[in-house]
Amino acid sequence: MTNKQVSFGNISHRTPIMLIADDQPLVVRQIYEVFQDDFHIFMASDGAQCVEMANELLPDIILLDINMPHLDGFQVCEKIKENVITSHIPVIFITSNIDEADEVKGFEVGGVDFIRKPINPTIMWARVQSHAQIKRQSDLLRRLALIDGLTGVSNRYQFDEQLLTDWLSCAREKNSLALLMIDADNFKQLNDTYGHQAGDKFLKVLAEKVATCAHRPGDLVARYGGEEFACILPNTDLAGALKVAEDIRTLIEQTVVCLETSRDQISAIKTTVSIGLHCLVPDRKDQPDVLIKSADQALYQAKALGKNQICIFEHEHIKQASN
């Protein structure tokens, strides 16, 4: 499988994101010159903007000036750590004057380190890279914990987390986000006929085939529950999502799974999937649940129309895709 939930190389090879929050342009320029080759860098000029950008960008590290207008660095850090979406982001404080009480307060609100002004580029680079590496390792462990043990694709928790991340990203960039809800047809009958071990083998094959079709680094395939899978396709328009859905439907229809049904007999089993699809440009005012609900409605319609087909939720209506 090549998509990101089971291939962890992209975690270390992805260019990380840095958010700098400082109202002094000279300091921002100094930091940018040190890290421009290592990070995608974004800048905030005050505390309130930093909180907003942290929620939108989900950066890998934040360099945060303590003395800023509207909200000071300590208040900003508290808000970042209170939000479950941003709480895991390491925050390094930047300051020209700090005493022991300030240092204690900085660690109490969730900061991981301090960098003093005037900035020493060598020391700053070493400290930032150290915390960035720790976060990369933490992200890897978190992803390992978010894999479905049976099929090897992402589990429901990873799906929920990634959908929110992609929702915010596509809303910010005004790009399309597509979701496929995929359900194995007649799976209960297969389980009842051949047993749960045979059903488990079938689900593994199904997950592998779906992941083969959703193969871009940004795509994510997850086991949503039971015999139902979900596929998140960021930066994908309706035509692109429909092609992925049809590739999945066709591949599963053509797949033969050999199941051991008794000690001396192996049965070749074929089945199909029904797929519900919804594609939209996210609005930050909404929640990604609207995407799930619409794709689910389309899936139910695909089942009702006879299975082994794709239905699309579009403009508050559901239509059948031509196979």
Catalytic residue numbers read 227
Q: Are strands 61-65 and 40-44 parallel, antiparallel or unpaired?
A: unpaired
Instruction: Report how many helices (DSSP H) and strands (DSSP E) the chain contains, helices first.
Output: 11, 13
Q: How far apart are CA 201 and CA 260, in angstroms?
A: 10
Best CA proximity match to 118, nearest among 88, 95, 152: 95
Residue 59 vs residues 17, 86, 160, 243: alpha-carbon distances, Å: 5, 8, 18, 32
What is the SS3 assignment for 97? coil
Cβ atoms of 36 and 58 within 8 Å: the answer is no
DSSP state of 295: H
Parallel/antiparallel/unpaired status of strands 265-270 and 256-262: antiparallel
